Amino acid sequence: MPQYRISEVAELFGVSDDTVRRWVDADHLRAQRDLSGRLVVDGSVLAGFARSQARSTPDPSGIGCSARNRFVGLVTEVLSDEVMSQVELQCGRQRVVSLMSTEAVRELGLEPGVQAVAVVKSTTVVVETPGERE
């Protein structure tokens, strides 16, 4: 099972090292010392903690949908030509980019500052793990 140092946990959650130490001190997150004496968190413990902390932004669309991957965010950039557009949303800490027709951009009123929902339904999702690059 992988172990994560406090700084790695902080980076994954987008918080400071001190915040992670406070979680540990308050018994919200279980950690132990590794052989070098550093404070570490087991991967399975961190996964459980991540699930318990997950909060989605409420979906403002109010419609039912079979797609489970819905990311509520703010449009940050729209690049358009006559036919196609690239729309960028900031959904929490994640950047989501969509290519769509310029007609759809106009119909939806997409422009920087507009709240939108990126809906992803795919039979293929690529999952990667960190590794050494050659």
One-letter-per-residue 3-state SS of 5-65 = EHHHHHHHHCCCHHHHHHHHHCCCCCCEECCCCCEEEEHHHHHHHHHHHCCCCCCCCCCCC
Per-residue pLDDT of the chain (134 residues; tens, 9 = 90+): 789 999 999 988 888 999 999 999 999 999 999 999 999 999 999 988 988 887 777 778 777 777 778 888 899 999 999 999 999 999 888 899 999 999 999 999 999 999 999 998 887 888 888 876 55
Which pTM does this prediction carry?
0.67
